[in-house]
Amino acid sequence: MTGETAVRPDFPALAFPALAFPALAPDRVHRWGGASLLVARRSGPYRPPPLSRAERRVLEALPAWRRAEWARGRLLAKRLVGDALGVPPGEVEVLPRDDGSPRVVVGGVPGPAVHVSISHTARHVAAALAPDPVGVDLCETASAAAVRRVADHVLSPGELPLVAAGGAEAAVAAWALKEAAVKADRRSVFGAAPRGVVLLGLRPPFLGGRRRAMVWRADDTVLALVLAHRPTGRPSRQHCVGAPCPGG
């Protein structure tokens, strides 16, 4: 990936404090583990992204309440792709695949080997870009009670103690890590896929399989980033990807 001068240094891989994840500054391009990451407050300054004709068709097909968050997510993703590839963001399109996950098109040509992921809450939007499959997810700490109500469907018996002892941030971090992982796998958060992501630790985050993960805090929201390695010679099955954080 190019555009290194536009990217902040890697975050140190330190153990987390007992009750808090490290803070992530909004509106800056950060880098961790080869991925670029942006998070922004939805109440902050906003300029509409230069949408292509194809992107405008997608936008116009969305419900009115979804359009602003969809456009903001594409604005962040376009900025990351432009920085990484050294092209104007106006030449970048971020369009949905059949499974709903985002794909990159540059100058009308399917993008190079880069992967993007986008997430929204009522207060924040985030985007991530990486050479390997990547998933990003936001979950507000106010949604901890909703996460606990569905914990038995998402967490295994061995994972429940990690959440029970860690307070609201632990609950939403577990949810965000699982959803970010299934996004990286291009699978659905509904059904059995989240249970297939083995959560071995939260501080620092540690997932089973060939995955690397990190968790940050942005205001009252937890952000999880997961990088995965797709096995060679095994194309992934496509499913409807992603779901909003419960109650958020």
CA-based radius of gyration for the chain: 17
Of the CATH numbers 3.40.50.720, 3.40.640.10, 1.20.1600.10, 3.90.470.20, which one belongs to the domain with range 8-132? Answer: 3.90.470.20
Element (H, E) at 82: helix 64-85
Fold topology of 135-228: Ribosomal Protein L22; Chain A (3.90.470)
pLDDT tens digits for range 115-159: 999 999 989 999 999 999 999 999 999 999 998 888 888 888 889
pLDDT value of residue 183: 93
Given a cut of 60, whether residue 98 has pLDDT beyond it is: yes
Given a cut of 80, whether residue 234 has pLDDT beyond it is: no
pLDDT tens digits for range 24-45: 999 999 999 999 999 999 886 6
pLDDT confidence bin for 6, thresholds 50/70/90: very low
pLDDT value of residue 231: 56
pLDDT tens digits for range 72-91: 999 999 999 999 989 988 89
**Comparing C-alpha atoms, which of 88, 97, 112, 105 is closest to residue 53?**
105
Whole-angstrom Cα distance, residue 178 to residue 175? Answer: 5
For 24-69, give the secondary structure using H, E and C.
CCCCCCEEECCEEEEEEECCCCCCCCCCCHHHHHHHHHCCHHHHHH
Domain ranges of the chain: 8-132, 135-228
Q: Do domains 8-132 and 135-228 have the same CATH topology?
A: yes
Is beta strand 115-120 parallel, antiparallel or unpaired with respect to 30-32? unpaired
pLDDT tens digits for range 167-217: 888 999 999 999 999 999 888 766 678 888 999 988 889 999 889 999 999
pLDDT confidence bin for 230, thresholds 50/70/90: low
